[in-house]
Amino acid sequence: MTQTVLAAESGPRAKRRFDRVHQIINEYGASENALIPILQKVQDEYRYLPEEILTFVATALDLPPATVYGVATFYAQFSLEPKGKHLVKCCDGTACHVRKNQPIIAAIRKKLGLADGRKTTDDHRFTFEVVSCIGACALAPAVVIDGKVYGQMTPEAVIAALDEIDAADKAEAEE
Ligand code: FES
């Protein structure tokens, strides 16, 4: 089974890719109890859970692929699609909704060119998600960018924060 999976992607790059997953599995132990931490670590590495790696993990843990897919699709923290370099989340919990998060969501979608409901920009720089309460209701409406919480957001403030990220990325690219 493992050979079949490896055959789907060949060459040194594919080998390195599976080597890293193999290391992660060794780190946590090849047991069903370790499935969630393994998937979390794999996602940290790749920013999503590639299909062939889910199959590889299932084989290594001796689990039916459907079990691994079931866990990967059940938890909102996991993504089966590639995410962008920067992750932007806008809370749509009750407090944020009441304090007018909708214009903020619209402004982010417009700024990132994701008005059609896509989550990730074509250049894979940004992924935008609307999420449920992030536990920062006192700061509503709240946005999280790359793990940092921005409170009492307005459409203008969120655009300014995204512009800052753009400027930092450009400066980094020029170094
Ligand atoms: S409702 Fe937005 S942080 Fe709780």
Q: Does ligand 1 come within 6 angstroms of the Cβ of 95?
A: yes
Q: Does ligand 1 come within 6 angstroms of the Cβ of 104?
A: no
Q: Which tokens in the block code for residue 11?
A: 């060459």
What pTM, to 2 d.p., does this model score?
Answer: 0.71
Q: Does ligand 1 come within 6 angstroms of the Cβ of 136?
A: yes
pLDDT tens string 110-160: 999 998 778 999 999 999 999 999 999 999 999 999 999 999 999 999 999
Question: Helix, strand, coil: what percent of the chain each, to 5?
Answer: 55, 10, 35
At the top level of CATH, which class does the domain 2-74 belong to?
mainly alpha
Atom of ligand 1 nearest to the CA of 139: 3
Predicted confidence (pLDDT) at residue 12 exceeds the cutoff of 80: no
* Amino acid 107: pLDDT: 97
| C-beta contacts of 41-45 below 8 A and 24+ residues apart | 43/77, 43/78, 43/79, 45/20
Report which of residues 62 and 16 the model is more confident about: 62
Percent of the chain scoring above 70 in pLDDT:
91
Q: Does ligand 1 come within 6 angstroms of the Cβ of 25?
A: no
pLDDT tens string 23-53: 999 999 999 999 999 999 999 888 899 999 9
Average pLDDT over residues 15-19: 77
Question: What superfamily in CATH does domain 86-174 come from?
Answer: Glutaredoxin (3.40.30.10)
SS3 166: helix
Number of Cβ atoms within 10 Å of the Cβ of 158: 22
Please give the helix or strand (H or E) that residue 64 lies within, else none. Answer: none
Listed by start position, the domains of the chain span 2-74, 86-174
